[in-house]
Amino acid sequence: MFSRVFPVQKGMFDTAGEASSKIKKILKKVGIPPDIVRDVAIAAYETELNLVIHSLGGELTLSVNPEIIELISQDVGPGINDVNMALKEGYSTAPDDVRDMGFGAGMGLPNVQRHCHEFQIASELGRGTTIRAKYFLKNN
Amino acid sequence: MLQKHSVRIDRRICVGCTNCIKCCPTEAIRVQRGRAKILEERCIDCGECLRSCPHHAMVAVTTPVGELDLFPYNIVIPCTSLYSQFKTLATSDQLNEALYGLGFDFIYEEARGAEIEAEALRILLRSGEANFPVLSCNCPVIPRLVTKLYHNLIDNLSPFVSATEISARVAKEEFSQMMQVDKKEIGCYYIAPCAARMTNIKNPMGIKHSDVDGVFSMRELYLRIKESLAQNAARRKDKGGLPDTRDGKVAFPAGAYGVGTAVVGGLSAAVGTEHYLAVDGIYNTVQCLEEIDNERLRKLLLVEASACNGGCVGGPLLFENQFVAKNRNRRFANSLPRYDLEHDEHVRKYVDSPMIRYDMPFAPQWVMTLSDDVGEAMRMMDKMEGIVRSLPGIDCGSCGSPSCRTLAEDIVRGQAVEMDCIFKLRDKLRILAQEMADLASAEKRG
């Protein structure tokens, strides 16, 4: 079992993408099949950017064992008002300046869902959001 | 041991400085026992180490320029960037005349092969039956980089061999038919801007064997070509300055599109698509492949990547500054006709031929993984992370590995020890010295 935590700060666009890039490197080194490495990397990138754009700060946790890879994104707030809406393609609450940077197209969470085997999201206003994406290595 | 790659380290010259280990994009070089060493399985032949070595201890392995006596007939393939290397060169005929003067029987320009490749790619892109974006394999580094680092993109590699290989195959085919000789009697020599082409002969990928029989370094041939050019010019002057390039004719002259492929973006222009990405330089290439692998670049049809800055005009074995070469290449290409490749007879003859395709699938190479066993690899990764935290993190390279992280990796792989780190060693010495001092000053009991 291998596990590592990557803190992600809010609004830090300069370093956005670094955590997911590190996650990808680790998975490659460990010898995870390339298609799963890609899926985890995409999900990690999307969740990392969500932390940068929407959260008050949080962390990504990568856990790997020979059967399952789990990617957890956890933040300290503000929480999602309507989770079902947030999961809809094209729905975004990102402000204009973020959209001008090419983000906030409303594809983040749908993309995470599309690129994992099992998806869970729990959010509470004022408390924060936790997203879990699981990947099963043995079925592939 | 048969060396598979195109760069050799001259151990008499190497001083064990750490310039090369720092610049290698695949972390394939280590300094051990005071000399650099290339980890063959990781090398992608990009040639960065050739450029970075201030002592010129990195040697490009090419075919020695000597007499052409291995084969009864000899063909030369001048690279697309050759035209840009001579200040006074006005026409292809002049260059070809000079090449004939070196003893070659037949000339086939790589630029012409590039035109065949471009048309074949255009048809492929139009058919829609490919994994997009298609990655051109014109630069020999690309398929090596992808099979080692980007396994998801292996199916995106172009089905067409490089323009160099296309040229060699087509040249042998045409010459053997024209002269009614067996292909085995023909030697095919490429005048190269880089050494990576040499690796394709020694260690071919996607093909059983290369039709290129030798690779000459452009630098080594430079003076001979220049002399030959000057002699021909003097001869013409004696004849009253009349243009006389009768002797410089080739059977299938290349046009503007082909010559233009020496500069990055040229191939895409020849293919005629808007949806392309032209990227040059190995680090930029790695960055773009990473983006494509992460599905962040969409709607792309073609990726034309060159490991060298600027494209082939930036090759490490070339003589001229790449920016000057770019300018000359552009002017030279513009002086040539722009063939309609779709209706070009010679191009059409080969675009559908299996001759221009790879005949074997590319196999992924697992050169970066820590262990074949995922569980063991994770344990190693865990240990590695621990070691990384204990190292100074300044990536000085004194240990012989390019970074603290790579040293940690080398340690868990059993190829280095913690005391290779000079800071660790210093700490250890300090402790030992303290212990010795304590021992020396200890009072004897009783």
Note the ipTM here.
0.85
Q: Which residues of A touch B375 (CB under 8 A)?
A: 66
Domain count of the fold of chain B: 3
In terms of domains, do B334 and B414 share one?
no
pLDDT by residue (tens digit) across B102-125?
A: 889 999 999 999 999 999 999 999
- Dihedral, A38, A44, A47, A49 alpha carbons, nearest 10: -90
Residue B101 reports pLDDT greater than 80? yes
In terms of domains, do B243 and B350 share one?
yes
In terms of domains, do B91 and B153 share one?
yes
Residue B236 reports pLDDT greater than 80? no
Q: How many other C-beta atoms are found inside a 10 Å radius of the C-beta of residue B150?
A: 22
Please indicate, yes or no, if residue B240 is contained in any of the structural domains: yes
* Rounded Cα gap, residues B307 and B196, in angstroms: 10
pLDDT by residue (tens digit) across B6-25?
A: 899 999 999 999 999 999 99
Q: Tokens 């190829």 — which residue?
A: B415
CA distance, residue A57 to nearest chain B CA (Å): 24
Residue A12 reports pLDDT greater than 90? no
Substitution target from B150, B370, B381 for chain A, most A beta carbons within 10 A? B381
High-pLDDT (> 90) share of chain A, %? 54
What contacts B59, CB < 8 A, 6 or more positions away? B7, B8, B9, B10
Q: What is the pTM of this model?
A: 0.91
* Rounded Cα gap, residues B131 and B253, in angstroms: 32
- Dihedral, B216, B218, B222, B224 alpha carbons, nearest 10: 10
- pLDDT band at A85; cut points 50, 70, 90: confident
- pLDDT band at B442; cut points 50, 70, 90: confident
Q: For residue A27, give both structure tokens.
A: 């998975």
For B152, which of A21, A34, A45 is closest by C-beta distance?
A34
In terms of domains, do B116 and B240 share one?
yes
- pLDDT band at B200; cut points 50, 70, 90: confident
Give, in order, the Cα–Cα distances in Å from B412 to each of A39, B26, B303. Answer: 27, 18, 37
Please indicate, yes or no, if residue B209 is contained in any of the structural domains: yes
* Rounded Cα gap, residues B440 and B79, in angstroms: 71
Residue B256 reports pLDDT greater than 80? yes
* Rounded Cα gap, residues B367 and B135, in angstroms: 21
Residue A103: closest C-alpha in chain B: B296
The B-side interface with A (CB below 8 A) comprises: 151-152, 290, 293-296, 364, 366, 368-375, 377-379, 381-382, 385, 409
Q: For residue B342, give both structure tokens.
A: 């779709």
Average pLDDT in chain B: 92
Between A124-128, B254-258, B309-313, the lowest mean confidence (pLDDT) is in A124-128
In terms of domains, do B154 and B295 share one?
yes
Q: Tokens 């990764």 — which residue?
A: B381
Q: What is the extent of the structural domain holding B444?
A: 370-446
In terms of domains, do B295 and B417 share one?
no
Please indicate, yes or no, if residue B163 is contained in any of the structural domains: yes
Please indicate, yes or no, if residue B347 is contained in any of the structural domains: yes
Residue B245 reports pLDDT greater than 70? no
* Rounded Cα gap, residues B266 and B260, in angstroms: 5
- pLDDT band at B443; cut points 50, 70, 90: confident
Q: Which residues of A touch B411 (CB under 8 A)?
A: none
Between A101-115, A125-139, B391-405, the lowest mean confidence (pLDDT) is in A101-115
- pLDDT band at A92; cut points 50, 70, 90: confident
- pLDDT band at A110; cut points 50, 70, 90: confident
**Which ranges of B294-403 does DSSP label H, i.e. alpha helix?**
322-334, 345-351, 374-390
pLDDT by residue (tens digit) across B354-383?
A: 999 999 999 999 999 999 988 899 999 999
Residue B375: closest C-alpha in chain A: A66
In terms of domains, do B36 and B82 share one?
no
High-pLDDT (> 70) share of chain A, %? 99
pLDDT of B244: 52
Q: Which residues of A touch B298 (CB under 8 A)?
A: none
For B381, which of A30, A37, A137 is closest by C-beta distance?
A30
Closest listed residue to residue B106, CA positions, set B193, B13, B187:
B187
Give, in order, the Cα–Cα distances in Å from B117 to each of B81, B160, B255, B374. Answer: 17, 7, 13, 41
CA distance, residue A77 to nearest chain B CA (Å): 28
Q: Is B311 helix (H, G, I), strand (E, B) or coil?
A: coil
In terms of domains, do B279 and B427 share one?
no
pLDDT of B72: 93
Question: Judging by DSSP bridges, how do beta strands A58-64 and A2-8 pair with one another?
Answer: antiparallel
Please indicate, yes or no, if residue B26 is contained in any of the structural domains: yes
Residue B43 reports pLDDT greater than 90? yes
DSSP B162: P
Q: Which residues of A touch B295 (CB under 8 A)?
A: 38, 42
Substitution target from B147, B372, B374, B406 for chain A, most A beta carbons within 10 A? B374
Closest listed residue to residue B382, CA positions, set B393, B391, B370, B394:
B370
CA distance, residue B370 to nearest chain A CA (Å): 6
Backbone angles phi, psi at B215, to 5 degrees: -125, 115
pLDDT of B67: 73
CA distance, residue B360 to nearest chain A CA (Å): 21
CATH number, domain of B1, equals 3.30.70.20
Please indicate, yes or no, if residue B362 is contained in any of the structural domains: no
Q: Which residues of A touch B294 (CB under 8 A)?
A: 24, 38, 41-42, 45
All structural domains of chain A with their residue ranges = 2-136
Q: Which residues of B touch A26 (CB under 8 A)?
A: 381
For B293, which of A4, A38, A137 is closest by C-beta distance?
A38
Residue B242 reports pLDDT greater than 60? no
Comparing B187 with B243, which gets the higher pLDDT? B187
pLDDT of B326: 96
Q: Tokens 């060396």 — which residue?
A: B3
- Is A45 close to B294, i.e. CB distance below 8 A? yes
Q: Which residues of A touch B381 (CB under 8 A)?
A: 2, 26, 29-30
Q: Are B59 and B8 in contact (CB under 8 A)?
A: yes
Please indicate, yes or no, if residue B363 is contained in any of the structural domains: no
In terms of domains, do B282 and B308 share one?
yes
CA dihedral sign, ordered B353, B355, B356, B362: positive
In terms of CATH, what superfamily is A2-136? Histidine kinase-like ATPase, C-terminal domain (3.30.565.10)
Q: For residue B424, give both structure tokens.
A: 């660790």
**Which ranges of B261-373 does DSSP label H, i.e. alpha helix?**
266-271, 282-293, 322-334, 345-351
Final residue of a domain: which of B329, B356, B383? B356
CA distance, residue B410 to nearest chain A CA (Å): 13
Residue B406 reports pLDDT greater than 60? yes
Residue A1: closest C-alpha in chain B: B378
- Is A2 close to B369, i.e. CB distance below 8 A? no
3-state helix, strand, coil in chain A (%, to 5): 35, 25, 35
Closest listed residue to residue A110, CA positions, set A135, A137, A83, A134:
A83
Containing B7, the helix (H) or strand (E) segment is: strand B7-9
- Dihedral, B329, B334, B338, B341 alpha carbons, nearest 10: 20
pLDDT of B213: 94
Closest listed residue to residue B267, CA positions, set B436, B120, B108:
B120
Final residue of a domain: which of B327, B356, B385? B356
Residue A44: closest C-alpha in chain B: B294
High-pLDDT (> 90) share of chain B, %? 80
Q: Which residues pair with A3 in a beta bridge?
A: A63
For A64, which of B290, B378, B385 is closest by C-beta distance?
B378
Residue B190 reports pLDDT greater than 90? yes
pLDDT of A1: 81
Q: For residue B441, give both structure tokens.
A: 């000053």
- pLDDT band at A106; cut points 50, 70, 90: confident
* Rounded Cα gap, residues B342 and A48, in angstroms: 47
Q: For residue B124, give both structure tokens.
A: 């492929």
* Rounded Cα gap, residues B255 and B118, in angstroms: 12
In terms of domains, do B94 and B225 share one?
yes
DSSP B317: T
